[in-house]
Amino acid sequence: CAKMPKPSQDNDRDLTFCRILLAELEDHHDAWPFLNPVNIKTVPGYRKVIKKPMDFSTIREKLCSCQYQNLEMFIIDVNLVFDNCEKFNEDNSEIGRAGHNMRKFFERRWTELLKSN
Ligand SMILES: Cn1cc(C(=O)NCCN2CCCC2)ccc1=O
């Protein structure tokens, strides 16, 4: 049938979930490497290696300026943070471990939230 606009309550639910999930990511003990964009002037190689930088403050800005169509687009950006981290950091490093911890936390929380529906 013709593409129908998503009922607004679904959009409202998605937006609420993004706000909850992002707040919990920002408050997590291991969030410190991901709170702001990696400084490509002080981190050698980052600019060349990581094609699409992403961080929680950028996700916060996008969320607050309605740049996420739905929950899926938000999850894609959060996963980009963790995929970039895995690409650039050894698993057995401070930042590498923080990335794995944060990804595990995020996976668990969004599945819990979606099951609550
Ligand atoms: C995600 N990620 C982060 C960094 C990084 O150095 N972040 C700065 C962390 N500092 C904490 C207090 C001031 C800044 C390097 C590589 C990387 O993949």
The rounded distance, in Å, linking the Cα atoms of 117 and 112 is 9
Indicate the top mutation candidate among 95, 97, 102 to test ligand 1's pocket, ranked by most ligand atoms within 8 A of CB. 95
The residue-averaged pLDDT of 31-46 equals 98
Q: How far is the CA of 38 from the centre of ligand 1 (A)?
A: 6
Atom of ligand 1 lying closest to residue 88 CA: 18
pLDDT at 3 over 80: no
Report the residue among 89, 90, 100 best suited for mutation to probe ligand 1: largest number of ligand atoms under 8 A from its CB. Answer: 89
For residue 38, the model assigns a pLDDT of 98
Quote the ligand 1 centre to 114 CA distance (angstroms): 31
Q: Would you say residue 1 has pLDDT above 60? A: no
Q: At how many degrees (to 10) do helices 94-115 and 8-27 cross?
A: 150
| Residue with CA at minimum distance from ligand 1 atom 12 | 32
Confidence of residue 5 (pLDDT cuts 50, 70, 90): confident
Distance of CA 61 to the CA centre of its chain: 12
Residue 33 contacts residue 54 (beta carbons within 8 Å): no
Do residues 99 and 33 make contact, with C-beta atoms less than 8 angstroms apart?
yes
Cβ–ligand 1 contact at 32 (below 6 Å): yes
Predicted confidence (pLDDT) per residue in 44-84, tens digit: 999 999 999 999 999 999 999 999 999 999 999 999 999 99
